Amino acid sequence: MPPQEHTEEQQDAENTTSHTRVNPRVIKPYHGELVIAGLSGRYPESDNVTEFKDNLLNKINMVSVDSKRWDSEYWHVPPQMGALKNLDKFDAEFFGIHSKSAETLDPQLRLLLEVAYEAVVDAGESLASMKGTRTGVYIGVTGSEAEHAWMGRTNQYVLSGVPHTFFPNRLSFFFDLRGPSCAYDTACSTGIVTMEAALLHLRSGVVDQAIVGAVNLIMRPQTTRAFTAMNMLGGGACRTFDAAGDGFVRAETISACLLKKAECAKRIYCTVEACISNNDGWSTDGLVFPNTYAQEELMRDLYTNYKIDPTKIKYFECHGTGTPAGDPIETRAICSVICENRKDPLLIGSTKTNMGHSEVASGLSSLTKVIIAMHTRVIPPNLHFQTPHPNIPGLFDGRLKVVTEPTPWEGGLVALNSFGMGGSNGHIVLRSYDEKKLDDHPASEKPRLFVYSARTEDGLKNILKEAHKHSSDVEFHALCQISANAQLGSMPFRGATLLNAEKEFTEIQKVASKPRELWFVYSGMGSQWVGMGRSLMALDIFRDAIHECSDALKPFGIDLLNLIMNGTQDSLKTIIAPFICIVAVQLALTDLLFSMGIKPNGLVGHSLGEGSCAYADGCHTKRETMIAAYLRGQSVVESNVAPGRMAAVGRFTVEITLPYVHTPKN
């Protein structure tokens, strides 16, 4: 049997995780908004979404002529291809995969694991927050072009590293997800059809969130030769909508996103308004020929049933492969449905002109481009459009307009089309998320401590640099917060830096493999200073605790709140004032730490701090602790002990008459 493939986090949690269902889960349909909350990917000449954005907006042709995969002259295939930069890097240890298993893992699956994890983190989630959740995994994957290399090996790892069923299953295993885990293949429409499957499960209540991904790597020249024999590949570019369009260029993409319910999302890229699919059925033109009427029917079904006005579509991202048959058929259906009763030209484009056709992953490539447009409020331009295709009337009569330059855009509804060789069609409508960021957050310009954890020191340095670049972006810092406390085995480097501070401070350390114990130490007299706790009153939890402590002392004629906010050096020279102020601040700090999920392994208190220690341990209430602190100070005053003396109190019984009657709240 192969070795157990568990991460350290999963091994640590084995004793607390149970698959035994005590009560059946309640499945209820969901009628709220569904959103894309996280996004990541690898695209031609782009290691991430940011590089892809820069290449799109700067009109960089991501189709290259090189020998990254094979010698094109030897195989007599077109030399142009949209290729990923790197395929040879993989951190098997992080994903809990044995080195022997990693050697026979399909490169598509290696990259998919990385991209899916990045999408989860991009959504503000972590391994801990995803663990055990009802999350579905829906992955689009077609034939593995590396399969012939791996399947020739006779070892026990191949069958769990190459078959397509393990693409989603690996993700479910790594994250410990309990929803459906399925692989899909409808050729070039797979990305959108996979998205539809995830949305249907979210709507029906089967899952609470979903990872949707698609992969396409080009590893074998034989597949490219087959496309060449079918006259589908063109002369080095996807010249979509252009008269010179003679076919597409193959491209690679691995992309994933996290779908969530709007009220549960920490980040929202866009809202998914509707998504459906259909099939061409039988046609005289043949199996691989697209069908205008089926695509038109699909769009009419969506806009009618979901009550979306087609004239409200602000931009249409076409499938747009640049083939002589595909472009006219698709645009004819678009004009029939979307441009009906439309006054202004419909802006259209296709990301395939920028990067090539990533086939099974093309829908997610287009989705990434649309999200980039929504985020930047600029529609990326098409490439290679010079002369309108004579068989696309909409380009001549003003119904359609191809975006050829970076075009400012105010947001709204976007439609995305996708159809596959074999007749499966998909259509999705997205709405841009238009809520403005909180630029005027009260903490945006304040000095703040930013902490984070990472796998490597260089990775942590990059994150801290990004934090400084966006030092006033409180929402960005909040999104990073959950990843600041990752498990030590996965993220051994811890770092902290001060933002918006006069003095620069950054510190990075590699921590031990096991967590250190955390203790709360409560000090006694002498720890006070003028202004102690005043700046923390800006925090709701701290302020509420101080008010509660102040209310406990009002029957004694003590104005604690005034001492905290307006106390002077003279007022702290008395005995009672520092007694009650120290304890009140300790109790408020305890509430603040508890609210952040910081729980101690142990507690220790000295003198006054013993009472606060008892509060943190749950032995005393705030009211009881504050009254004890006050009476302790009052007893010192009444004892008239000489300054600097220490009083040792033996066992005795004392009866105290309080000026009020205590009635518990509960």
CATH number for the domain spanning 338: value is: 3.40.47.10
Residues 549 and 463 in one domain: no
What letter represents residue 569's amino acid?
Q
User: Domain for residue 307, yes or no?
Assistant: yes
Residues 277 and 167 in one domain: yes
Q: 310 in helix, strand or coil?
A: helix
Phi and psi at residue 622, to the nearest 5°: -60, -45
CATH number at residue 466: 3.30.70.3290
Q: How confident is the model at residue 5, as a pLDDT?
A: 45
Residues 460 and 538 in one domain: no
Residue 121 domain boundaries: 8-16+26-432
The residues near 240 (Cβ < 8 Å, ≥ 6 apart) are 318, 320, 321, 322, 327, 350, 352, 353, 382, 384, 385
Residues 426 and 486 in one domain: no
For residue 414, give Cα distances in angstroms to 119, 264, 311, 336, 368. 22, 23, 11, 17, 12
User: Domain for residue 666, yes or no?
Assistant: no
Q: Token digits for 428?
A: 């999705």
User: Domain for residue 649, yes or no?
Assistant: no
Residue 68 · residue 83 · CB < 8 Å: yes
Residues 467 and 605 in one domain: no
Residues 535 and 493 in one domain: no
Instruction: Name the stretches of the chain with pLDDT < 50.
Output: 1-16, 18, 652-666
User: Domain for residue 325, yes or no?
Assistant: yes
Residues 496 and 523 in one domain: no
Residues 317 and 342 in one domain: yes
Q: Token digits for 516?
A: 């250190």
Domains held by the chain: number: 3
Residues 589 and 547 in one domain: yes
User: Domain for residue 397, yes or no?
Assistant: yes
Residues 360 and 462 in one domain: no
Last residue of a domain, one of 484, 510, 536: 510
CATH number at residue 623: 3.40.366.10
User: Domain for residue 240, yes or no?
Assistant: yes
Q: E strand or H helix at 317, and its extent? A: strand 313-317
Residue spans of beta strands (DSSP E) within 163-227: 181-184, 209-216
User: Domain for residue 580, yes or no?
Assistant: yes
Q: Which residues are catalytic?
A: 188, 319, 357
Last residue of a domain, one of 478, 510, 542: 510
Residues 477 and 573 in one domain: no
**Which single residue is written with the structure tokens 């080195």?**
99
Rg (CA), the chain: 31
User: Domain for residue 301, yes or no?
Assistant: yes
Q: How confident is the model at residue 481, as a pLDDT?
A: 82
Residues 488 and 542 in one domain: no
**pLDDT tens sequence across 145-161:** 666 666 666 566 676 66
Last residue of a domain, one of 402, 432, 462: 432
**pLDDT tens sequence across 395-432:** 999 999 999 999 999 999 999 999 998 899 999 999 99
Where does residue 540 rank: exposed (0-12), middle (13-18), buried (19+ CB within 10 A)?
Answer: exposed
Q: Token digits for 173?
A: 């295993």
Nearest to 36 by CA among 134, 119, 116, 126: 119
